[in-house]
Structures are given as structure tokens and as C-alpha cells.
């Protein structure tokens, strides 16, 4: 039986409108090109990004003349050479990669049990509590959260006040590498849980029951059944956390107290503090290359996880 058009989903109506507008503009239609024309907004968006990247790539090959603050007409690899030989920049790049890797591992370790409990619990109260605990900080911006940690962990902060009650001298818990990683883990945690939740929800509970009925302990079931089946979710969450951490600006700037710059902070300095957009652009290109390489290696080793959007893993 034919459905009543009013019961069609909203997206179908939108497509109808788009088609009507399209046929008004081009009555003969695009024939086989129609699907590609539908893709044009996405292509336009990507095109703009590529255009921006092209500009960054171009300016990264031009050196700044500090006697005129104009860029060279000729291309050269001077900025890249400087970026890869200057000890400070090398240490910043290394700190960013190491930090992003540590943050990804810790975040996944924490997010997995949290998500598992959230999707498996039979208590509606607990599920709601975990969801609220997840989303409440999610709705607060990164900068505000970082300043929140300054209030909590600062020398005059709440934690030191409590330690003071038992006679412990105030400790400096901020402005070091661990505090930046801590802030990043706290910031990335909801992203990881949100990426993991669909993957864990998709694992039928019956499979766990079957595993245990065949004699596997709960630990064995987790290790040999749930974890392998959750792998796509773990990979997807890991990729998101890794790339976001690698390019983060606010946490190193605020919780690092000027002592723990990541690449994004170095880029900001070059663009806005020393006005050397050429060198800053070369750092941006290096960051993009590093991020892409890391993602490519993960794709090659373990696939794209849930980011493959249904495509079969190799």
C-alpha cells in the first residue's frame, strides 16, 4: 500500500524541495550528473579547505624579511629546515606527539569501563547519572574547564586547602606536563565515551552470556569477546582523541603555564607574536603531516574502526 506523503521523513521532503528548485533552475536536468551535483556543497566545503591549505603551503615556502616584514617572492625550504633543526621546535613537536599518545591511551582506558557500565547497567538512575556526568562538562567550553582546574589545583586552590588541613604544605600541581595531560584526558573523555557507546551497544548481551555459559570467566569474556568486538569503536575513539590532543592549544597554554607548549601554541606565537606567518605555516603543515601520518599508520595497522562508516575492514 502506498504511504501517505505526509508520513514521509523530513529529509525526504527536503530532497523534494531541492529537486523542485533544481528543476526550475535547470529544467533539462543533469541526468547522470545529478548525484555529483548533490555532492557539490560538500565539494565546495572541502574545496575551501584545500584552498586554505594551498595558501598555507604557499606561504610556508616564503621567508620573512625582518627589515621590511614582507615575504620573499621566491620559494625555499628555509622555514622547514629551521623547524626541523631548531631544538626548541623539535622538543615541542616531540612533546605534542608523546602527549597525544599518552592522552589517547589513558582516555581509552578510562572511557571503556565507563561506557560499558553506561550501556549495560539495568539501573535507569545510574545510566542517567553517568550520562549527566558525561554531558555536563561537555557543554562547558574547554577554556572555562581549564580555568576551573586552575581554581581546583592552584596553590591557593581547593585541593591545597584540603591538604593544608592535614598539615601538608601547598604543592604546585599545575604548570607542568602531567597537568596538561590531565586536563586533556578530562577534556577528551566525553568524546571517547560518545564514540565507544554505539560500538558497545551493538554487541548483543547474549553473546557475553553465551561466552560465560561456555565456561569463560567474566574477565576472559571481556578480553576475548567484548574487547575484540569493540575494536572498531576503540579505534574510532582513539583516532578522534589522538588528533584532537595533537592539535590542542588551550590546555597546554593554560595548564602548562607557558612551559609546556604544543605545536599549536608555537604556531600561534609565530603568527601573532613574531608576525612570521611563513614559519608558522611551515609548522602548521608539519602538524598536518604528522597527524595524517599517524592516522594513516593506524588505518594500515588496524583499520578505520567506526570511522569507516560501515565499510568492511580489510
Partner 1 sequence: MTFDKQIKRRNLLKTTALLGIAGAAGSMAPSLLKAAPAKPKEIIIRAWGGPWVEALKAGVSDPFTAKTGIQVRHDLTEDNEIQPKVWAAVAQKRTPPIHINWDTTTNATKSALRGVCEDLSDLPNLKGTTDLAKPVGVDGYPIVNTYGYVYVLAYRPSAFPSGPPESYHDLLDPKFKGRLAFYNDGIGFHFPAQVAGGGKLDGIPSNMKPCWDFVSKIKAQEPLLGEDPDFVTWFQNGEIDAACTISTNALGAKRNGVDIAWTIPKEGAKFDTDGLWIPRGHSEGDLYWCKEYINQALSKESQQIWLDGLGLPGVIPGLQPPPGLAGDPSYPTKPADFDRLIRISGKIQVENESEWFSKFKAIMQG
Query: Binding to partner 1 by residue 87, rule CB under 8 A?
Result: yes
> 170 or 303, CB closer to partner 1?
170
Q: Does 131 bind partner 1 (CB under 8 A)?
A: no
CB-nearer residue toward partner 1: 159 or 295 = 159
Least distance CB 64 / partner 1 (angstroms) = 8
Asked if 13 interacts with partner 1 (CB under 8 A), we say no
Does the protein bind partner 1 through residue 272 (CB under 8 A)?
yes
Of 105-113, 154-162, 192-200, 219-227: span binding partner 1 (CB under 8 A): 154-162
154 forms part of the interface with partner 1 (CB under 8 A): yes
> Cα separation of 262 and 256, whole Å?
9
Q: Which of 116, 175, 249, 299 binds partner 1 (CB under 8 A)?
A: 175
**Does residue 23 touch partner 1 according to CB under 8 A?**
no
Q: How many residues bind partner 1 (CB under 8 A)?
A: 31
Rounded-to-integer distance, Cα 189 and Cα 75, Å = 42
Instruction: Confirm or reject binding of residue 123 to partner 1 (CB under 8 A).
Output: no
Q: How far is the CB of 3 from partner 1 (least distance, A)?
A: 54
Own/partner contacts of 243-249, CB < 8 Å, gap of 24 or more, are 243/100, 243/291, 243/294, 243/295, 244/188, 244/191, 245/99, 245/100, 245/103, 245/104, 245/184, 245/188, 246/96, 246/97, 246/99, 246/100, 246/287, 246/290, 246/291, 246/294, 247/287, 247/291, 248/184, 248/187
Q: Of the two residues 149 and 189, which places its CB atom closer to partner 1 in the complex? A: 149
If you ran DSSP here, which 8-state letter would residue 313 be given?
P
Alpha helices in 214-276 (DSSP H): 218-221, 227-229, 231-246, 250-255, 263-268
Which positions ≥6 away from 209 have C-beta within 8 Å? Answer: none
CB nearer to partner 1: give 92 or 285.
92
CA 293 to chain CA mean position, Å: 15
* H or E, element range at 46: helix 40-60
- Residue 248's nearest CA partner among 190, 196, 185 is 185
Q: Which DSSP helix (H) or strand (E) runs through 65?
A: strand 64-65
Q: Which residues contact 15 (CB under 8 A, 6 or more apart)?
A: none
List of residues 6+ apart from 241 with CB closer than 8 A: 103, 104, 107, 108, 188, 191, 192
Instruction: Assess 271 for contact with partner 1 (CB under 8 A).
Output: yes
CB of 90 to partner 1, least distance (A): 10
The only residue of 11, 68, 85, 213 in contact with partner 1, by rule CB under 8 A: 68
Smallest separation, CB 164 to partner 1 (Å): 13
As measured in angstroms, the least distance from the Cβ of 82 to partner 1 is 10
Q: Please choose, out of 18-26, 193-201, 264-272, 286-294, the segment that lies near partner 1 by the rule CB under 8 A.
A: 264-272
Query: Which of 270, 281, 282, 306 is close enough to bind partner 1 by CB under 8 A?
Result: 270
The residue behind cell 586552590 is 157
Cell 592552584 sits on residue: 154
Site for partner 1 contains 148 (CB under 8 A): no
Work out whether 245 is an interface residue with partner 1 (CB under 8 A). Answer: no
Q: Between 100 and 119, whose beta carbon lies closer to partner 1?
A: 100
Site for partner 1 (CB under 8 A): which residue of 7, 67, 85, 213? 67
Binding site for partner 1 (CB under 8 A): 66-70, 86-89, 91-92, 154-156, 172, 175, 257-261, 269-277, 279
Amino acid at each position: 500500500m502506498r504511504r501517505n506523503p505526509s508520513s514521509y521523513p523530513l529529509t525526504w521532503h527536503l530532497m523534494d524541495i531541492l529537486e523542485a528548485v533544481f528543476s526550475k533552475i535547470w529544467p533539462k536536468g543533469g541526468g547522470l550528473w545529478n548525484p555529483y551535483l548533490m555532492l557539490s556543497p560538500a565539494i565546495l566545503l572541502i574545496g575551501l579547505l584545500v584552498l586554505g591549505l594551498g595558501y598555507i603551503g604557499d606561504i610556508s615556502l616564503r621567508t620573512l624579511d625582518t627589515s621590511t616584514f614582507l615575504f620573499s617572492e621566491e620559494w625555499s625550504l628555509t622555514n622547514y629546515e629551521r623547524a626541523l633543526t631548531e631544538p626548541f621546535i623539535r622538543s615541542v613537536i616531540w612533546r605534542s606527539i608523546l602527549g597525544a599518545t599518552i592522552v589517547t591511551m589513558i582516555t581509552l582506558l578510562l572511557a571503556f569501563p565507563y561506557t560499558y557500565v553506561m550501556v549495560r547497567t539495568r539501573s535507569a538512575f545510574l545510566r542517567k547519572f553517568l550520562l549527566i556526568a558525561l554531558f555536563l562538562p561537555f557543554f562547558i567550553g574547554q577554556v572555562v574547564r581549564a580555568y576551573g582546574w586552575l581554581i581546583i589545583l592552584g596553590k591557593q586552590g581547593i585541593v591545597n586547602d584540603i591538604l593544608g588541613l592535614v598539615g601538608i604544605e601547598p604543592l604546585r600541581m599545575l604548570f607542568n606536563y602531567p597537568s596538561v595531560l590531565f586536563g586533556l584526558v578530562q577534556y577528551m573523555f566525553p568524546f571517547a565515551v560518545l564514540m565507544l557507546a554505539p560500538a558497545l551497544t551493538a554487541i548483543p548481551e547474549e553473546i557475553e552470556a553465551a561466552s560465560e555459559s561456555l565456561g569463560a570467566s567474566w574477565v576472559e569474556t571481556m578480553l576475548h569477546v567484548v574487547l575484540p568486538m569493540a575494536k572498531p569503536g576503540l579505534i574510532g575513539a582513539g583516532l578522534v582523541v589522538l588528533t584532537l590532543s595533537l592539535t590542542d592549544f588551550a590546555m597546554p597554554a593554560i595548564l602548562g603555564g607557558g612551559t609546556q607548549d604544543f605545536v599549536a601554541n608555537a604556531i600561534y606565537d609565530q603568527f601573532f607574536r613574531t608576525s612570521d606567518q611563513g614559519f608558522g605555516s611551515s609548522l602548521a603543515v608539519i602538524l598536518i603531516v604528522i597527524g595524517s601520518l599517524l592516522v594513516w599508520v593506524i588505518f594500515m595497522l588496524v583499520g578505520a574502526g567506526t570511522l569507516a562508516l560501515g565499510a568492511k575492514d580489510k
